[in-house]
Amino acid sequence: MNINPILKRELRVQSRGHGLLVLICGVNAILFMIGVLGCLAAAARTEQSLAADYGVLLDIYGLVAMALFVFMVMICPALTSGSISGERQSKTLELLMATGMSDMSIILGKLAASLYTVAVLLISCIPSIVLPLVYGGVSLLEMLQLVMALMTAALMTQSLGLFAGTLGFSVQRSTALAYIFLVVLLFGTFLPAFMGMPFSVYGRDNWLALLLILNPAVTVLSVVSMQVGGGSFPAELFARLNLDVSEVFLGHYIPAAMIAELFFSLMIIFASVKSLDMARGGFGYLLRKRKKEGIEK
């Protein structure tokens, strides 16, 4: 079985350090603390009222799931933003390109190594997520849906970080650019909807607001709200935005959003490959070469 050499090297480097272990322990400690404190508060409330309220446990589950999502979207861009720019900064990008590997292999190897880190982190966090569910409430299939939504969000945010890494000349600039992309993704997708609200009438769609289907926060919130019995979050959101969206679309919003995010991630990956191809011998390479010659003169 042939394994991508970039992936093999990245995994070897990860195994020598303690960064992944510290990350797993830190995130799990925070999530476990949230779950334990929530369960203790629910137990104290039950002792006072002499009535078990299992809905509180579902609320704790939703809180832990959203906390994990916040941790992931904050961590993922940093995992990939320095993958290419770090090679460029350490003067090893030219050597990497001289190995004869295609640009797609380099990009996919870097991305797969980062996805491995996120997958290990996510699997390690499952006990913290299911801690409030010792009395039931969420099925295994629903847990799998949450994991898929989180991994889709991780793929999208890591792809943005990887694309930023192909554009930046240093790790610091690439990381800053990656988080700018993240802010635009999470908050910029709301702007068309808010800008169109004063001019829209319920029943006349502001289709630019459907850019929210690319927002991973809305997707994960939709999954969590459905599981904890909080109603249809997309329906409430579109109603507040004066959008008359069909029931068929709302009924299939979560799988449609995941497919749209996967397609968008593929577009970003191909853009990263094109950017790296330009770095190999295209316009970006010529700009850096002229800049370097100007500094030497």
Residue 165's nearest CA partner among 277, 81, 104 is 81
Q: What is the pLDDT of residue 199?
A: 46
Residues 160-184 pLDDT 10s: 999 988 887 788 888 899 999 999 9
pLDDT in the model for residue 203: 45
Instruction: Give percent above pLDDT 90 in the chain.
Output: 13
Note the pLDDT tens digit of each residue in 88-133.
777 777 777 777 778 888 888 888 888 888 888 888 888 877 766 6
Judged on CB neighbours under 10 Å (0-12, 13-18, 19+), 64 is buried
User: Domain boundaries in the chain?
Assistant: 8-279
pLDDT value for 205 = 52
pLDDT confidence bin for 157, thresholds 50/70/90: very high
Please give the model's pTM, rounded to 2 decimal places: 0.82
Nearest by Cα to 273 from 151, 110, 70: 110
Rounded-to-integer distance, Cα 195 and Cα 144, Å = 36
Q: What is the pLDDT at residue 269?
A: 92
